[in-house]
Amino acid sequence: GSLERRRCLYLRTGRACCQMVEVLLAALILVCSSVSCGWAGGYTGLPALGGIYYYQYGGAYSGFSGADGERAQQLDQRFYLLKLPIARAAMAVGGCLLVFPCVLILVGVLQVPWRFPAWLLIECTLYIVIAVGTVPALYYFLHSLLSIYNSSVCKEREQLYQSKGYQGFWCSLHGAEIAAGLLGCMAAMAYLLSAGLAVRDYRTVQEQKQKPLQL
């Protein structure tokens, strides 16, 4: 009845819309991070995958043979292991950022802020902490990736593939990693906006609760 309608009305508020944008941004960060983690590329991984991905990159890489093929395999594995920790950390952060606004949407639908207005101040504090923490997290993410791309493993791997005429193995940030950084910046701005909306809603709830007493 009316209770269900009031709960659905929350999804039309500015705070709920901002939280749904945060869910979308977190999901995109998670996807981009998983792409970075799964992008082993190279000589060994592609033939085992088969299908379209295999043929798109030239089948079994006939340009490699003997020692070159073994060296390409070793470099691919070492490069993948270098990227794996930072990619997994980014995926974990993206997953947490995905769960957080989902929980807040559920809290809003259940009208917890109306019963306990102080929750909005807690929500505001959490948003500010996450927004501020996003800045060093992004710096660490990009700095770690650049350190990996400047490593001797990546440089040797790039030269080996270029010597056989293969492209796409450059030692630089690729699109998914750049997108993850940009999405992180957008998410930080969305968190600050949500913090401001939480303070506004706290004042609104307090005013509405005081009206019956004034009457």
Among the ranges given (49-53, 76-80, 81-85, 135-139), the one the predictor scored with the smallest mean pLDDT: 49-53
Question: Contact 194/19 with Cβ under 8 angstroms?
Answer: yes
How many CB atoms are located within 10 Å of the residue 32 CB? 25
Rounded Cα distance between 113 and 109, Å, is 9
Rounded Cα distance between 206 and 76, Å, is 59
The burial of 31, by beta-carbon neighbours within 10 Å (0-12 exposed, 13-18 middle, 19 or more buried), is given as middle
How many CB atoms are located within 10 Å of the residue 91 CB? 19
Q: Is residue 165 very low, low, confident or very high in pLDDT (cuts 50, 70, 90)?
A: confident
The rounded Cα 20 to chain-centroid distance in angstroms is 15
* CA neighbor of 202 nearest in space, from 194, 192, 190, 214: 194
Question: Contact 74/82 with Cβ under 8 angstroms?
Answer: no
- pLDDT at residue 107 tops 50: yes
**pLDDT given at position 4:** 55
Contacts of 155 (CB under 8 A, 6+ apart): 171
pLDDT digits (tens, 9 = 90+) for 3-18: 455 667 788 888 999 9
**pLDDT given at position 205:** 86
**Overall average pLDDT of the 154-173 stretch:** 84
Question: Contact 123/104 with Cβ under 8 angstroms?
Answer: yes
Rounded Cα distance between 24 and 94, Å, is 11
Place of tokens 């659905």: 8
**Token digits of residue 9:** 């009305």
**Token digits of residue 85:** 């920790």
Report the chain's mean pLDDT, rounded to a whole number: 81
Three-class SS state of 173 = coil
**Overall average pLDDT of the 92-115 stretch:** 91
**Overall average pLDDT of the 141-166 stretch:** 88
**pLDDT given at position 76:** 83
**pLDDT given at position 139:** 94
pTM to 2 decimal places: 0.80
The rounded Cα 64 to chain-centroid distance in angstroms is 36
- pLDDT at residue 164 tops 80: no
In the chain, what are the domain boundaries?
2-39+83-211
Three-class SS state of 61 = coil
